[in-house]
Amino acid sequence: MSTGTMEYDPPFTSSVYILCLHPLFAYRVDSFLTKKLSLFDSGPNGLSFAAPSIRPAIPSTSQQVDNLSLVRPSIPSSAAPDPLERFQRVGPGKGQYFLYDAMLRNDWVDWWLQTDYGSRSKIDWDLQNSRAKIWKEFDQVAHSIHGTAKVMCKNCSAVLEHPYTTSKTASGRRQRDGMTKFLQTGDTTKEPFSQEAWDNKHLRFITLNHLPFSLVENPTFRRLISTAQSAPRPLNVPSADIVRRRLFAIVKDRQQDTLRMLPEHAKISVALDCWTSTFGDVFMAITGYFIDADWVYREVLFGFKPLHGTHSGANLGNVLMKTLTECGIQHRVFRLTTGNASNNETLVDALQQCLPNDINVIRIPHLAYVLQLSLNQLLASLKAVPLNDATEIWTDSQLILSKVNAASKKQDISHTLKKVRYLALYIRGSSQRRDSFIAIQPPGQGLMPIQDVRTRWNSTLLMLRREKRLRVFIM
């Protein structure tokens, strides 16, 4: 085979010509020729080849070294995005199918031919462009892992076998007939609308998903229903993964819109706090605050990051630095507000080491924590610090302690606080006592005494304030 100028020969595929090229360029040339050949007339078996009148030549091996632009398109320095990210996930199982899009046909076919199913099958993906009315009700899909071709109903998302269209065999006709039969007798048959049916489905939706009844009065819910009513055709409900990706993209856009309001030479203050879920998962919330050019206060959420491993200052500092770098504001941090735990001091030191020497981050402890420490010292001096970390329930031991406290002749503040706490526990400890206490209040008020806890800095104040408001009913 000559390595000089060659002409395209329709009976052969583009991979034949790669043999004359340097092995290092084989993969890129194959992709380049595949795209270029699709511009020419169609050959046998659905493959595209150059028309006889159009005969571009492939340069020789020596020419390729000098001018690589002839055999491959210009490629940016950054890696090209994964084409799979452009395919929309649909269907059951958190979107286990890719939706065929005619606008992405070349990328779709390239991916599908590399799957297990596509490597041994042949499907005309342009089927949906036919005039058959059946395709107005179905989309073509393929499994995201093994590439098995299916069709999915646009109305109810039911997944059926794909009619292998390149043949007009009895099998293909049965599959097309099955699609038609499904539309005629399947779940997509539209029920006549009635207000009673709508109310029942609405109530079923609320109860099965444990939603509040007030949802129906929410303005955003009513606007959603109004938008759905104005749709010219039945809506395609997105999958959970699609909703998640859309929300993530919207949050990123809003975040960047807010950061663009930050004046050019201004700094931003950052606050962070850790939170543990009921399942034991730990997260760190990172927020930013600044004043824009119009002297308007702005807030932005940088991230709600899961924490793994030890909660050392170095680990927390790495998570914070990575988040600030992703947002592009690591060099504009002025102040960092954290809790009073010792690992937060190490966090600031770790963050400072990652920043240039001319950037000095000022750490400010949470004011609420400072107040809590001060109040705990004050209550401790009065011997009135609550010993419970959470709200307690009324028990026999509480009854004994309350009687002892009532019999005491002390009239100091600690005695008064204990009396208020036991009263709150007693009223809240029984459903009958709660109902009786609410019954003596004006209609619509229904307030209950509250008990303070050690872990909330202002809970003692809230307890006394509520007790003062209810003193008329208590006396």
- Amino acid identity, residue 360? N
351/15 Cα distance (integer angstroms): 53
Q: What is the pLDDT along the chain (475 residues), one digit of tens a residue?
A: 444 444 444 444 343 333 343 443 343 434 444 444 444 444 444 444 444 444 444 444 444 444 433 333 444 444 444 556 778 888 776 678 888 888 888 888 888 888 888 888 877 777 655 656 667 778 888 888 888 888 888 777 788 888 764 445 555 555 555 555 554 444 445 678 889 988 999 899 999 999 999 999 999 999 999 998 888 887 888 888 888 889 989 999 999 999 999 998 899 999 998 888 878 888 999 999 999 999 999 999 999 999 888 888 888 989 999 999 999 988 899 889 888 777 888 888 888 888 888 888 888 887 777 777 787 778 777 777 676 666 666 676 666 766 666 666 676 777 788 888 888 888 888 888 889 889 888 888 888 998 888 767 678 888 989 988 988 887 7
DSSP code per residue over 52-80: TT--PPPPPHHHHHH-GGGTS----SSPP
Q: What are the residue ranges of helices labelled H in 38-160?
A: 61-66, 92-95, 105-113
Supply the pLDDT for residue 454.
74
- The CATH architecture one would assign to domain 254-365 is 2-Layer Sandwich (3.30)
What angle separates helix 413-428 from helix 459-469, to the nearest 10 degrees?
70
Work out whether the CA dihedral 377, 382, 385, 387 comes out positive or negative.
positive
Q: What are the residue ranges of helices labelled H in 388-458?
A: 396-407, 413-428, 431-439
Supply the pLDDT for residue 128.
59
Supply the pLDDT for residue 389.
64
434/107 Cα distance (integer angstroms): 66
Domain parsing of the chain, residue ranges: 84-169+176-181, 254-365, 383-473
281/295 Cα distance (integer angstroms): 38
Supply the pLDDT for residue 54.
41
User: Going by C-beta distance under 8 Å and a sequence separation of 6 or more, which residues neighbour residue 117?
Assistant: 142, 143, 146, 147, 148, 149
Nearest to 451 by CA among 467, 474, 468: 467
